[in-house]
Amino acid sequence: MTQPRTYVDHAASTPMLPSAADAWQRASRHVGNPSSLHGSGRAARRIVEESRESIADDLGMRPSEVIFTAGGTEADNLAIKGLAWAAPDRPRIVCSPIEHRAVLDPVEWLGEQGRPITWLGVDAVGRVSVDDVIAHLDVDVALCTVMWANNEVGTIQPIAEIAAACADAGVPFHTDAVQALGQLPVDAGRRGITSLALSGHKIGAPVGVGVLVLDRDARVVPVLHGGGQERDVRSGTVDAASSAAMAVAVRHAVTEHQAHAERIAGLRDALAAGIVGRVPGAVLNSTAEVSLPGHVHASFPGCEGDALLMLLDASGVECSTGSACTSGVPEPSHVLLAMGVDPALARGSLRFSLGRTSTPDDVERILDVLPRAVERASRAGSPTFRTVS
């Protein structure tokens, strides 16, 4: 008999919505390249443009402000490099230290090319201070970037205030909303937001599609040079089938997020309370008041997160850790370190991210197996994986 699986890694990737899969299948029957002038090309083009209009409508943007990409990483890279390169006379980049690697790595890479980087601070729950942002918006700043909600601990940032501060200072502002869409209202057209990154596979569209929302007045230098598609921001043939699935997933995220958030927040509260109540010494790093409704992030003193993860996996529970291990030695999560969590404690951390398919039975199953796994992991530990996305 196959073991039942309890999938609580929706922040890494969530199952496709049946309606998005249907849209993908219908659209994939078309063979044309959306840039071709013949009938098949025009049919593919119609799918892309209708998808673009639908997403623009749902996000309160103009269709020309929706740029299809191959995912969240690409959307972040196009915005960060593109906006920075478009402002050679303003070299500085202001960035939060708790960003996903899809933001941190291009920012650090630009730093290696000679750009000065200002790292913002965060408090013990991972929140950026708006005053800190304002204090750093000098005339030499090309770009400020702060994610809408964090992928590890789920902390939601004061995006409206940060965006307004950037608008007042005349500084372009990029936000990675990959984790936010579907769990929060995402007002992409809010004053001060220059660009915003979205990823399909976090909201029920396929892997390999994303959106960069880019203000119509924003100037970016393209990363990819080629056919000039997508306002010449992202050259390359647009994947019509994935754009159709993305439109369905965005519609679902925007219309259903409130009911979804209420449902999974209930599960989140039960899971968080159960972890603290049943696992001696467990410390929560996510906070219901400031975190995404689907995130529970906890540290288990004396454990290695990767060993714990493998023990849970063997019991049918699929979650992720906060450790990045590239050399056999686990590195504690940069997010937890920025929040001031002790490195040893940070290494013994797990993220449980709830989603559309999560049920009260999932919570019970996790709470059934976790105490024993923690007990065993505190005596073991040989980390080998990088598991946060």
Q: Show Cβ contacts of residue 248 under 8 Å, excluding neighbours closer than 6 positions.
A: 17, 19, 20, 22, 23, 204, 205
Asked if 126 is part of the footprint of ligand PLP (rule: CB under 6 A), the reply reads no
| Residues facing residue 6 across a β-bridge | 317
Of the candidate spans 66-74, 110-118, 130-138, 263-271, the one that interacts with ligand PLP by CB under 6 A turns out to be 66-74
Residue 320, interface with ligand PLP (CB under 6 A)? no
Q: How far is the CB of 104 from ligand PLP (least distance, A)?
A: 10
Site residues for ligand PLP, window 128-147 (CB under 6 A)? 147
Site string for ligand PLP, 276-315 (x = CB under 6 A): ----------------------------------------
166 flagged as catalytic: no
Reading across the β-sheet that carries 295-299, which strands appear in turn?
283-284, 295-299, 349-353, 320-321
By beta carbon distance, the residue nearest ligand PLP is 72
Written as six digits, the tokens of 371 are 């105490």
Which residue's structure tokens are 């400031």?
290
d(CA 98, CA 155): 10
Neighbours of 3 (CB within 10 A): 8
Catalytic residue among 95, 166, 303, 325: 325
Q: Which two tokens stand for residue 380?
A: 């073991």
Closer CB to ligand PLP, 172 or 200, in the complex: 200
> Among residues 17, 59, 79, 102, which is the contact residue for ligand PLP, using CB under 6 A?
102
* Residue 9 touching ligand PLP (CB under 6 A): no
72 forms part of the interface with ligand PLP (CB under 6 A): yes
Q: Which of 48, 53, 56 is nearest to 243 (CA)?
A: 48
Shortest distance, CB of residue 274 to ligand PLP, whole angstroms? 25
Three-state secondary structure call for residue 277 = helix
C-beta separation of 317 from 308 below 8 A: no
Q: Is 348 in the site for ligand PLP (CB under 6 A)?
A: no
Task: Tell me whether residue 6 or residue 387 sits nearer to ligand PLP (CB atom).
Answer: 387
The Cα 188–Cα 83 span in angstroms is: 17
Structure token pair of residue 202: 């976090």
Total residues contacting ligand PLP (rule CB under 6 A)? 15
Minimum gap (Å) between residue 214 Cβ and ligand PLP: 16
Q: Is 71 in the site for ligand PLP (CB under 6 A)?
A: yes
In the complex with ligand PLP, the residue whose CB is nearer, 72 or 322, is 72
The verdict on 73 binding ligand PLP (CB under 6 A) reads: yes
Answer yes or no whether residue 100 interacts with ligand PLP by CB under 6 A.
Answer: yes
**What amino acid occupies position 239?**
D
Beta-carbon contacts of residue 294 (< 8 Å; ≥ 6 apart): 10, 11, 154, 183, 261, 264, 265, 268, 353, 354, 355, 358
Beta partners for residue 84, in sequence order: none
* Both structure tokens of 44: 């593919």
Q: By CB under 6 A, tell whether 206 contacts ligand PLP.
A: no
Which residues contribute to the site for ligand PLP (CB under 6 A)? Answer: 71-73, 76, 100, 102, 147, 151, 176, 178-179, 199, 201, 210, 389
Positions marked active-site = 325
